[in-house]
Every structure is written in C-alpha cells, then in structure tokens.
Structure 1
Amino acid sequence: MNTLKNLLILMVSVGFLNSCYTFTGSSLKDEKTVQINEFPNNAALVNPALSQQFSTDIQNRFLQRTTLKGTKTNPDILIEGEITDYGITPTTISSSTQQTSAGTIQQSQNKLTITVKVRYENKLHSELSFERTYVDEAVFNSNLSQSQIETSQVKLVTDRIINKIFNDIVANW
C-alpha cells in the first residue's frame, strides 16, 4: 500500500514539475526563430579564441536545447552583445609553504573574471526584451599554464555565463 502511495505521489510531483518547466524551450511563447550574432571581444586584455568560442557555445546552447531554429533574416528573437572584460588577477598567497629542491615556495591563487554585455530583443513580446551585463569568475592555482587556463577555467566561466543568459531568456527567471 505504501509503495502504491509513494508511486502516486511521485507521478503527481513529476507532472507538476513538468508543467512548471520543460527542457525543450516551451516557456518561449510563439517564438520560432533566433539569430545570435557574434560576440566581439572588446576587453582590454584579448584572448584571441574567446570571441569565436563564446559565440559558438551560446548558439549551440539555444539551438540544441530549445525548439528555436537559427536564421539570419527577420528573427523572432535577436541575441547579441560583446565581451567587455577579461582579466586574470592574483587573489591570495597562502600561508602554507611547499618545500622543493629549489627552496620554499608559497602557494598562490589567481582569479579569472569575464564580463559579457547582452542585448536580447524579443520581436513578438517586446516586454521581455532586455539589456544586461553578466559576470562570472573562477579561482585557480597560479601554477596553471596559459593553455590550462584557456581549456579549463575560461570554459568553466563562459559556460556559467551562457547558463545565466539561457535561463534569463528561456526560463524567464
């Protein structure tokens, strides 16, 4: 009896959650097409691959996780913007030390910060349009190489920013 009751509660809960949000982009009303322009990198410190990678990743997110179709003419939704800041700054030097053959070294950390300005225009429901700035960061050990920073930390930060943009547009959070 308890198993049947638990199963019924589970089914009702899943039905309720599904009606609140679906993963197919159905929280978009009548929108069928999207145009996502390239996000130029206008930061003072330029990561040469960032603009292309960010633009591709945000396009893929919307085209793969919604029912929207990409277009270059008369889209229902237009998403554009620019990368306005990209920086790596030192954050901490720990008090713990590490003994090596070369002597004692202190561990330190750096912080990567990326800022993206986004303009979202919904041509069918203009009240949903907005212009916002998204910022995210990651703290990492300073002993990472530039290549490691580019492949892991930049990807982590841009994925988080794209997630925020996606949620603000599709889920209207």
Structure 2
Amino acid sequence: MVHKIKYTIIAIIGIIIIQGCGAYSFSGINTTATTFQVGFFQNQASIIIPGIDQTFTNQLQDLILNQTNLDLVTSNGDIAYEGEIVQYYVAPTNATSANTAAQNRLTIAVNVRFYDIKNPKEDLEQRFSFFFDYPASQAETAVRDEAVQIIYDRITQDILNATLAKW
C-alpha cells in the first residue's frame, strides 16, 4: 500500500513537471512556431567586404536549424529575422612604448529585427556586436576569415538567445 502511494505521488509530480515545461522544448527554445525565415542581411557598413553579408545570413540560418526544431522557409514563416550589417570597423586597442599599435580590434555590428507572427508582443529590434583582437603586426586581411567566423558565432548565438531562448 505504501509503495503504491509513493509511485502515485512520483507519477503526479512527473506529470506536473512535464506540463510545466509548456512551449519549451528540451533545447530550451520558447516558441510555438514551426517555421522560420531569415532575410538577406545586407552589408550597410562604411567598409564593404564582399561575401560577409551572405556568410552572416547563412550562419544565422544554420544556427537556428541546428539548435531548434524549426523548419526553414523562404516566405510566410511563423517567425522572421531581417536586418543589416551596420558596422565593420578596425581600430588600434593597445599601444607600444614607441606609440605604435600593438593590437587591433575588428568590430562587427548587426541590426536585427525579429517578428513572431503567432506572438507579436515578442517582436524585437536590437543591435548585436562583437569583436576580435589580433596583433597589429598582422594584416586585417590575414585574419579576416577567422575573425569573421568567431564574431558571427557569438552574434548569431546572442540573437538566438535574445529571440527564442529569452536569455
């Protein structure tokens, strides 16, 4: 009799916990959406580097596909991302005793607009940015691919966290 009550209580607690998760999936994504779309993020920064706009767009799509159960569509998605790259900037960050740059910083910023068709109060417009530091002895072109990859990894994860994970 005691074992039967114990198992019943455990079962009830288990059901309450599962029901409490609501729209959350096991990946931590909070949405009732089933589809998403990502518009092309055009480079509108003062420095235009060919291809970084397509790279960003693809990387955001790939991250959402890999970390959610949402399906990518080209139009009429339940949620939509659009925006533009608004900053691509290289500046010295540390100086040597000879008053020359010891280190440079590449900063990229992206303005994102997020729309949730099923829940418009979740719509968001926000600027996301990140940077990559590299030795001034290296040319920016020599580190660009690595820098852009690292910066985009961080920015796309920040976008996902702000829009779907709500972190």
Same fold at TM > 0.5: yes
Q: Is this contact kept in 2: 1:115–1:134, CA < 8 A? A: yes
TM (norm. structure 2) is 0.79
Gap change, CA 1:151 and 1:23, over 3 Å in 2: farther
Deviation, structure 1 residue 142: 1.1
Aligned partner of 2:44 in structure 1 is: 42
1:1-173 counterparts in 2 under 5 A? Answer: 24=27, 26-28=29-31, 30-95=32-97, 108-173=102-167
TM (norm. structure 1) is 0.77
List gaps (5 residues or longer) in structure 1.
Answer: 1-14, 98-105
Deviation, structure 1 residue 25: 5.3
Which AA in structure 2 matches 1:31? A
Deviation, structure 1 residue 145: 3.0
Deviation, structure 1 residue 22: 5.4
Q: Is this contact kept in 2: 1:120–1:131, CA < 8 A? A: yes
RMSD value over aligned CA atoms?
2.3
- Taking the aligned partners of 1:66 and 1:53, their CA distance within structure 2 comes to 20
Deviation, structure 1 residue 74: 1.4
- Taking the aligned partners of 1:138 and 1:78, their CA distance within structure 2 comes to 28
**Number of equivalences:** 147
Deviation, structure 1 residue 26: 4.0
Flag the structure with higher strand content.
1
Deviation, structure 1 residue 143: 1.9
Q: Kindly, what percent of the aligned residue pairs are identical?
A: 30
- Taking the aligned partners of 1:71 and 1:80, their CA distance within structure 2 comes to 14
List gaps (5 residues or longer) in structure 2.
Answer: 1-16
